[in-house]
């Protein structure tokens, strides 16, 4: 590898927005959009934890941004830019960094964001990465996990469980002949750009598993949730595995779809706000606590785990 400053000049300066001041200062300077609040989030991706050694660096870069973009989407924020940390082990080829920065560039274009600044370091063992994403939202309009009330309907975007099955496919535990499931695991689609303020009563993105993430809405809202397992939308590829993969689909994470609660009288507005994006009602909020999963006949299904947690 070339040295730290040459690498910054070559791979990161071209990604920098005006706020980054050419990456030639100690920090970035951001003029906040007038009359808006800022939304700030950070997520890491670590080799051996969030991605596998040897994964395509462009896809690692894009997933790093997209996981954070999904957090902004769950708050109803418009993304603007990001700060980045990289810690790279000595043996890494410079082609890795070329691929990584190309992935960043690609998603910067798609999501209209730019690099504000960052920090690069050497690492002893594993690649470790983080991104801090900054977005904006109208005053008071940030979505939260805490506003759901009994009677609200529970809706999800897209399909749930593809990424969990995609990860299994990557480990050879199931077949994914078209690569669709694997693709959903490697390159999620954050649901940014929906105008859900004043429509949904609570929102979260599915990053640790549907049941666990919906459980956060329950806890923060002081309410319970009842969902019907068969109503949780599956892609054609995931549906092919049937009930055998139900638990994985509901409890493993990484879908980066949104789960929202919607008061019944705003369901039409919700659907309209989602436009062409498929959305599916999977249940409703109730008085009480926790998430109950039922089969079509009303029987309660129990699962061995709630969702992904780091020890």
- Residue 126: closest CA among 197, 227, 220, 49: 49
Bridge partner residues of 81 (DSSP):
114, 134
Least distance between its own copies and beta carbon 77 (Å): 7
Q: Figure out which of the listed residues 14, 48, 264, 278 binds its own copies, where binding follows CB under 8 A.
A: 48
According to CB under 8 A, which one of 98, 110, 123, 286 is a site residue for its own copies? 123
Q: What's the min distance (Å) between Cβ of 251 and its own copies? A: 15
Cα–Cα distance measured from residue 206 to residue 163, given in angstroms and rounded to the nearest whole number: 11
Decide if residue 97 touches its own copies (CB under 8 A): no
Q: In terms of CB distance, is 49 or 287 closer to its own copies?
A: 49
Task: Tell me which stretch binds its own copies (CB under 8 A): 144-152, 227-235, 261-269, 288-296.
Answer: 144-152
Structure tokens at 94: 């410079």
DSSP symbol at 124: S
| Contact call for residue 51 and its own copies (CB under 8 A) | no
Distance CA 301, CA 296 (A): 10
Options 93-101, 121-129, 180-188, 268-276: segment touching its own copies (CB under 8 A): 121-129
Residue 79 CB, nearest approach to its own copies (Å)? 11
Q: Which two tokens stand for residue 271?
A: 């659907």
Hey, how many other C-beta atoms are within 10 angstroms of the C-beta on 53?
8
Least distance to its own copies, CB of residue 177, Å: 31
Contact status: 130 vs its own copies (CB under 8 A):
yes
Long-range contacts at 168-171 (CB < 8 A, ≥ 24 apart): 168/248, 170/52
Near its own copies by CB under 8 A: residue from 56, 94, 106, 126: 126
SS3 of residue 128 by DSSP: strand
User: Considering the rule CB under 8 A, would residue 235 count as an interface residue with its own copies?
Assistant: no
Chosen residue from 10, 38, 235, 280 binding its own copies by CB under 8 A: 38
Closer residue to its own copies (CB): 119 or 230: 119
Site pattern 184..213 for its own copies (x: CB under 8 A): --------------------xx--------
Q: Give the whole-angstrom CA distance, residue 291 versus residue 302.
A: 10
Collapse the DSSP code of 210 into the 3-class scheme (helix H, G, I; strand E, B; otherwise coil) and give the result. Answer: helix
Exposed, middle or buried, 105 (CB in 10 Å: 0-12/13-18/19+)?
middle
The angle at the Cα of 215, spanning 308 to 233, to the nearest 5 degrees, equals 80
Q: How many CB atoms lie within 10 A of CB 153?
A: 20
- 133 token code pair: 């994403």
Determine the Cα–Cα distance for residues 227 and 296; give it in Å rounded to an integer. Answer: 10
Interface positions, 269-308, toward its own copies (CB under 8 A): none
Q: Which is nearer to its own copies, 19 or 247 (CB)?
A: 19
Using rule CB under 8 A, residue 52 touches its own copies = no
Binding-site ranges for its own copies (CB under 8 A): 1, 3-5, 19, 21, 24-32, 37-44, 46-50, 70-72, 74-75, 77, 83-85, 87, 90, 116-126, 128, 130, 132-135, 137, 139, 142, 144-146, 204-205, 216, 220, 309-311
């Amino acid at each position: 590898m070339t040295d730290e400053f040459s690498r910054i000049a070559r791979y990161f300066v071209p990604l920098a927005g005006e706020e980054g001041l050419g990456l030639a200062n100690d920090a970035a300077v951001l003029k906040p959009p007038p009359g808006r609040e800022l939304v700030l989030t950070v997520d890491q991706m670590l080799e051996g934890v969030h991605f596998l050694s040897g994964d395509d660096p462009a896809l690692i870069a894009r997933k790093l941004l997209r996981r954070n973009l999904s957090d902004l989407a769950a708050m109803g924020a418009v993304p603007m830019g990001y700060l980045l940390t990289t810690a790279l082990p000595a043996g890494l080829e410079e082609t890795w960094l070329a691929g990584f920065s190309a992935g960043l560039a690609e998603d910067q274009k798609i999501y209209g964001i730019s690099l504000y600044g960052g920090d690069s370091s050497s690492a002893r063992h594993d690649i470790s990465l983080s991104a801090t994403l900054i977005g904006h939202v109208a005053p008071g309009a940030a979505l939260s996990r805490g506003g759901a009330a009994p009677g609200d309907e529970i809706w999800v975007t897209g399909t749930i469980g593809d990424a969990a099955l995609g990860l299994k496919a990557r480990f050879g535990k199931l077949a994914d002949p078209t690569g669709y499931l694997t693709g959903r695991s490697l390159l999620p689609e954050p649901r940014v750009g929906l105008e859900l303020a004043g429509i949904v009563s609570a929102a979260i993105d599915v990053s640790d598993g549907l049941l666990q993430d919906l459980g956060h809405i329950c806890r923060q809202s002081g309410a319970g949730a009842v969902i019907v397992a068969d109503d949780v939308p599956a892609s054609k590829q995931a549906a092919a595995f049937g009930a055998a993969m139900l638990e994985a689909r509901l409890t493993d994470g990484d879908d980066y779809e949104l789960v929202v609660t919607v008061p019944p009288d705003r369901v039409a507005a919700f659907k309209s706000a989602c436009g062409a994006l498929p959305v599916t009602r999977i249940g409703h909020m109730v008085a009480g606590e926790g998430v109950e999963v039922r089969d079509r006949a009303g029987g309660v299904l129990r699962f061995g785990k709630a969702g992904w947690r780091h020890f």
